[in-house]
Amino acid sequence: MSYFQKRENVNLYTDMMLDIDNSFVINEVEKVLPPNSTLLELGMGTGLDLLSLSKKYRVLGSDYSQLFIDDFKLKSDLDVCVLDAVSIDIDRKFDCIYSNKVLQHLATEDLIVSLSNQFRHLNENGITFLTLWNDNYREEFEFDGQLRFVYYDRATIEKLIPQELTIEKFILYSEFESNDSMIVILRAKLA
């Protein structure tokens, strides 16, 4: 995922996000996660969601791109770090691991590994809260082949979930077109 390692691509994405309203997604987090819970955001990008989530939660933002991290540090003193969404190489656990349209950039095999690693970083009864594009399962490359997009449907997601996690909720919602997006909430199974 070297696409966001280039300044021009980060700037293009930042401009694109100016008109995006993620309040529906944030409200869904608030329905399932008590205030003051710990939350790790994977793939924070410009940090818009992180800023919103920080009003109710103890947050740590992360992104694979140092450029996004550096840009965010210029506007906020919230804790952020460079982190790979697959390996999640961090020595902490959280009540929630949140990612909004991030894990769709991973190959399907890497998504499976990421979900297993997310489980290892959840507190007891913690949740993974992710959003993905909802469509027939397929993989495409956009932006001159530089950025992967994997589209999932519910049936495919159900087959990919590691046994340590249980599906708590699927929510279809519309970002650009009717039901083009899905929220998947996974809960760590009790030991």
Average pLDDT over residues 106-125: 96
To the nearest whole percent, how much of the chain has pLDDT over 70?
99
Question: For residue 171, what pLDDT is reported?
Answer: 97
Of 89, 39, 44, the residue nearest 62 (C-alpha): 44
DSSP symbol at 18:
G
Question: For residue 1, what pLDDT is reported?
Answer: 57
For 75-93, what is each residue's pLDDT tens digit? 999 999 999 999 999 999 9
Backbone angles phi, psi at 45, to 5 degrees: 55, -120
Q: What is the pTM of this model?
A: 0.95
* Nearby residues of 58 by Cβ (< 8 Å), 6 or more positions away: 36, 37, 38, 39
Q: Is residue 191 scored above 70 in pLDDT?
A: no
CB pairs under 8 A, 24+ apart, for 149-158?
149/104, 149/105, 150/104, 150/105, 150/106, 150/107, 150/108, 150/111, 151/104, 152/104, 152/182, 154/182, 157/132, 157/182, 157/184
d(CA 89, CA 59): 17
C-alpha distances in Å from residue 99, one per residue of 83, 111, 129: 13, 12, 6
Q: Is residue 21 scored above 90 in pLDDT?
A: no
At residue 98 the predicted structure's pLDDT band, cuts being 50, 70 and 90, is very high
The ranges assigned to domains in the chain are 3-188
Whether the CB-CB separation of 166 and 186 falls below 8 Å is answered with yes
As its CATH architecture, domain 3-188 has 3-Layer(aba) Sandwich (3.40)
